[in-house]
């Protein structure tokens, strides 16, 4: 089964379990496929985010598909030792402690539409069985004024999670969970729960240096 078919199967599974994505990100037991171990790099991606209709932060939900352009600049990756340390913090002290631990890390910037750029706090790069580069990112998300003022349930989803697959030509397909809750499930798996009904879709390409 190719990656596209796998993605379609996973999407059906996510619908079945109310879009709770179980993703091994911080607690993967082996990083034999990891390409970068904290080295300095610079990659720039530009593309489009497609937000799917459904419940959203700060309102009853979208009734139509919305698209936004974005620019992502990655300046470094997170060392394996740091990933292990962060996994320990999440497991022992929860996501609030994890948020504090990564909040000052700067591995790049993402700018969506006309919004101010947001720091990327963690970046993990691996290689898939098909030979594509898989880039996982976790960072503190934008909080809307209404969330802060009224203490809405969405404040329990303080992260943004991004997963991108980059082929040999620099073309990108991926997904983004704009408001995510992160917690351990079992001893070695991190569960990333989506506040909205569906993840947003990413389509992009890597710009030449």
CB 52 within 8 A of CB 201: yes
pLDDT for res 115? 85
146 against 113, higher pLDDT: 113
DSSP 8-state class, residue 34? B
pLDDT for res 60? 55
What is the rounded CA–CA span in Å between residue 190 and residue 183? 6
pLDDT for res 114? 86
Query: Could you report the per-residue pLDDT of 10-44, keeping only the tens digit for each?
Result: 333 333 333 344 444 555 543 334 444 455 678 99
Query: Could you report the per-residue pLDDT of 131-184, keeping only the tens digit for each?
Result: 999 999 999 987 665 655 555 667 789 999 999 999 999 999 999 999 999 998
CB 31 within 8 A of CB 80: yes
Spell out the domain ranges in the chain. 3-28+35-206
Give the Cβ contact number of residue 197 at 10 Å. Answer: 16
pLDDT for res 155? 78
Give the Cβ contact number of residue 90 at 10 Å. Answer: 23
CB 141 within 8 A of CB 103: no
What is the rounded CA–CA span in Å between residue 22 and residue 64? 27
**Cα 177 to the chain's mean position, in Å?**
6
CB 188 within 8 A of CB 26: no
**Three-class secondary structure of residue 153 per DSSP:** helix
What is the rounded CA–CA span in Å between residue 77 and residue 152? 33
In DSSP terms, 197 is beta-bridged to none
Q: How much is the pTM?
A: 0.79
């Amino acid at each position: 089964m190719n990656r596209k078919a796998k993605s379609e199967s996973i999407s059906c599974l996510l619908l079945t379990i109310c879009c709770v994505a179980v993703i091994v990100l911080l607690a993967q037991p082996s990083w034999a496929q990891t390409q970068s171990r904290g080295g300095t790099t610079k990659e720039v991606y530009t593309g489009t985010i497609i937000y799917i209709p459904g419940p959203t932060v700060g309102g009853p939900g979208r009734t139509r598909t919305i698209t936004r352009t974005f620019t992502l600049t990655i300046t470094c990756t997170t060392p394996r030792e740091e990933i292990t340390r962060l996994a320990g913090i999440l497991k022992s002290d929860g996501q609030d402690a994890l948020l504090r631990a990564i909040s000052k890390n700067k591995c790049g910037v993402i700018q969506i539409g006309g919004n101010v750029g947001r720091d990327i706090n963690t970046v993990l790069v691996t290689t898939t069985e098909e030979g594509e580069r898989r880039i996982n990112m976790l960072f503190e998300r934008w909080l809307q004024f209404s969330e802060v003022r009224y203490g809405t349930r969405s404040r329990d989803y303080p992260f943004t999670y991004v997963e991108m697959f980059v082929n040999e030509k620099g073309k990108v397909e991926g997904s983004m969970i704009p408001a995510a809750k992160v917690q351990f499930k079992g001893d070695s798996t991190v569960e990333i729960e989506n506040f909205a009904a569906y993840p947003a879709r990413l389509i992009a390409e890597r710009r030449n240096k």
